[in-house]
Amino acid sequence: MTVTVSGAPGALGERDLRRLAETVAFVRDRGTGDALAAVVGGEPPACLVRHLEFGHAAVFVAAAPPSGLIGVLAGLGVDAREPGPGRVVRGRAGQELDVRVVRGAVGSREVRLLVPQEGMSEAEREAESHVAFRLGDDDAVVLRGVCATLRESGLTPDGGGYDGQDTTLYFRGTTRLAVQAPGHHADALEHHVGRPDQPRRSMLDLMTGAWRTRAVAAAAELGIADLLADGPLDTADLAARTGSHPDKLRRVLAYLAGLGVLARDGERWSLTEVGALLRGDVAGSQRDLARIYGGLFYRSFSGLEHAVRTGESGFRHVYGAQPFEHFAANPADARLFEGAMAAGTAFLGLVPGLLDLPDTGTVVDVGGGDGRLLDLVLAAGPGLRGVLFDRPHVIGAAAEVLARHGARASVVAGDFFRDPVPAGADLYLLSRIMHDWDDERCSTILRNVRAAMAEGATLAVVERPIQDDPRTLLPLAFNVHMMVNTVQGGERTTEEHRNLLAANGFELADIRELPLDMAVLVARATV
């Protein structure tokens, strides 16, 4: 179906015409601040308003005689010039698209109709349309600051190029935004869109991720970070102390320096802030995590394709047993797993501050493991009593951790699938339990916890929810990790958590963020 504007010798599809009319109104009615607010989705930072000026809005339309579009614009009250050739950068890879451009003046700004010389779908036309802002001068420092501010405002780089006069950098927000800076800003352009071979570089980085994992694991196994704890050492010293071949070790150390794990000064090596996390004697040490991700779980991930094809556990496919069966038969692996899990819980120290702890009452940690979280909660709430509920073979270690709280802490043996959960507490904790199980098994756990709770009591669930932002990769990565290394486990989206809680007597009341994309999901017991 087509819609024509009175007096126009050309015609546009109804949707293109509507978008064009909306764009003309947008350009006519908005100043720079209002236009920026529409793109960034809120009040724009003052520095953007200060350095940018709203220049034009561009609309891609379906192929049509460009000369006929002058009449379309006239029907919308816009005086237009004759069409001319143009190029527009399309997509993150920086491909250039040949277009015919019809420019129409709206006050001091322009509306531009872009007619591609090759076919584009309706969705592509909408995605490539954009709002353009001009930088007031060619100051490279100002351009870097504007780009950084746009990224901090939630916009993502979306291509760019240089047309012989101006450098144009595109961002993706609620719509596509273009920043035009006079002159050739080669460094800013490379930083924004990457090198010409960036897609291949990116793919190569993805394919060689295993090399990084194993290099970091090798450093952890050799104890490199512990040897460098007191200061720099040269290659020969490190080789002698680790029993390594000097040249081979140098190659690995140079790679780790390139990755930001070490710093290099000739043949001398020192720790960076990142590399210091591989020391075994520091708070939050990641050494055992590096060893297990580069060892036990590195090998289990070779079962990823098997897990995808069959739905079975990749860990069992590789090792012939499920993880906890394997750990029971391999004490050294079990000790490494326990150390790695302890390293992965550094964020727990922040949890008590997010729990709205009462002055008095009882806290039950369901599946509380070694007792570390309950220990932290009782330390933060000296008027509270605590009960740890877990399987019989676990509670011995927890009792030792909780002993410092005396009569305020107790342990109860039980299975949260079959046995009654200690009743009548004010607050219940489920920390990193639900990601081990499917919805059916989680429902069993939640119903058992709900049966122990009075209406209005609080349940705090500590998990790593999958977020709407695809750039937040950790939950997505751990979702695959749980698929490979458990039978039923996986991470859930916030909405999946909400629905699972609601189906079992809880209302999700709040989500409180923790480091590394972890969160405390605060739920209330309902009728």
Residues noted as catalytic: 435
In angstroms, what CA-CA distances link 269 with 313, 329, 330, 419, 513?
41, 39, 36, 55, 36
Residue type, 141: V
Is residue 291 left, alpha or beta, with left meaning phi > 0 and alpha meaning psi from -120 to 50? alpha
CB 487 within 8 A of CB 322: yes
Short-list 508, 502, 506, CA closest to 520? 508
CB 452 within 8 A of CB 388: no
Give the number of C-alpha atoms closer than 13 A to the C-alpha of residue 264, restricted to the C-beta side: 15
Give the span between the Cα atoms of 50 and 139, in whole angstroms. Answer: 14
CB 272 within 8 A of CB 254: no
Structure tokens at 8: 């126009």
Q: Helix, strand, or coil here: 375? A: helix
CB 506 within 8 A of CB 525: yes
Give the span between the Cα atoms of 27 and 380, in whole angstroms. Answer: 56
Residue type, 98: D
What contacts 504, CB < 8 A, 6 or more positions away? 443, 446, 447, 450
Short-list 415, 319, 409, 420, CA closest to 373? 409
What contacts 398, CB < 8 A, 6 or more positions away? 368, 369, 370, 371, 374, 388, 390, 411
Short-list 149, 155, 152, CA closest to 175? 155
Alpha helices in 369-472 (DSSP H): 372-380, 392-402, 439-452
Short-list 352, 344, 350, 408, CA closest to 370? 344
Give the burial class of 382: count Cβ atoms within 10 A of its Cβ; 0-12 exposed, 13-18 middle, 19 or more buried: exposed
> ∠ CA(484), CA(488), CA(493), 5° rounding?
90
CB 178 within 8 A of CB 166: no
